[in-house]
Amino acid sequence: METSEPQLRRWLWLRAAEWTNWPSFVSQPIVPVLFIFFPWLYVLAGVFLVDLLWALVRYRYINVRAANYAAYFVVFTKWPAAIGSAILLFVHHSYFAGIVAIVWPLGLSGIIGIPGQIGRIELLFAKKIGYVNEDAEL
């Protein structure tokens, strides 16, 4: 299947934006479920710590397959996990955790992330898939 230039550029930007704080991105369906078992503050602190560690790795390691699979995983599982977790938390009178669980996939996960250089990661993805030469620079 052939992709157009605008589609490829959009794909590169989206995967780079997700990869910048990949743990936070992948956490969208996971964090709401964790709220059921652990205090919400500990869960958010854990995601922040993993993002801090990821900041040391994100420019050194690019995995196109993992980025693609993560995008599908998040798209298809975040809302069932968030809604189901929120309902269970509300039933057990954990209202604040329930609200955070339902808001997490709406973008709250992006607030916790460590700022990064999306353009730099976009170039790394472009090199990895052969869209640009290996010696290309920003």
Pair 64, 8: CB distance under 8 Å: no
pLDDT confidence of residue 74: 97
pLDDT confidence of residue 15: 97
Q: What global pTM score does this model have?
A: 0.89
Residue 131 is which amino acid? Y
pLDDT confidence of residue 133: 79
Is pLDDT above 70 for 1? no
**In angstroms, rounded to a whole number, what is the distance separating the alpha carbons of residues 54 and 121?**
13
pLDDT confidence of residue 39: 96
Mean pLDDT of the chain: 93
